[in-house]
Amino acid sequence: MHPDIERIVFSQNQIHQRVSELGAALSAEYATPELRGAGVELVCVLKGAATFMSDLARAMTIPLEMDYMAVSSYGTGTTSSGVVTFQKDLSSDITGKHVIIAEDVIDTGLTLQRLLQVLAARNPASLEVVPLLRKDVPGQADIDCKMVGFECPNDFIVGYGLDYAERYRNLPYIGVLKPEAYQ
């Protein structure tokens, strides 16, 4: 285990297992000719969801496209600023496509709430959200998810794409940092 990690919340094996299940379930849901005909597009919310989406895409067996957008609601701290800024837009037109947003974690839910408004206005055929993690947070925005990887406690976590001040994204598991690692 990395010396800055206090405890592992989801192990590499648990994540692998769950992402495989999500990929299989999504492939089954989107396997109908109508859905496939219109095109399925996975949208990654950078940077946190990049690791999740690349594994999820490889666990899916239907034809699909992948695109990336960057938004941020966090500075380098550990609490949400509530202000969502768009830093990079999709390079594809999602009009008429079946869009699945892959997100790392729903915390306050403000980022996805805003993102869903923006993407819905482009008239996709359907728009769904699949977060790897959903935190148990009081007052969280109500986001209707197609599937959720794991429900998780309201702790600040890192690894498997999630960062603290841009570090720890490359840990293969998800864990809680030791308090001294925040200094």
| CA–CA dist 166, 17 (Å, integer) | 26
Contact partner, 107, from ligand IMP, Mg ion, none, Cβ < 5-8 Å per class = ligand IMP
If you ran DSSP here, which 8-state letter would residue 170 be given?
A: T
- The binding site for ligand IMP (CB under 6 A) comprises 48, 73-74, 80, 103-111, 156-158, 162-163
Helix, strand, coil content of the chain in percent (nearest 5): 25, 30, 45
Judged by CB, which is closer to Mg ion: 23, or 48? 48
Under rule CB under 5 A, which residues in 21-50 are in contact with Mg ion? Answer: 48
**Least gap, CB of 74 to Mg ion (angstroms):** 6
Q: Are 120 and 91 in contact (CB under 8 A)?
A: no
Q: Which does 156 bind (CB under 5 to 8 A by kind): ligand IMP, Mg ion, none?
A: ligand IMP
Which of 164, 163, 157 lies closest to 11 in space, CA to CA?
A: 157
Q: Give the binding site for Mg ion (CB under 5 A).
A: 48
The residues annotated as belonging to the active site are 107
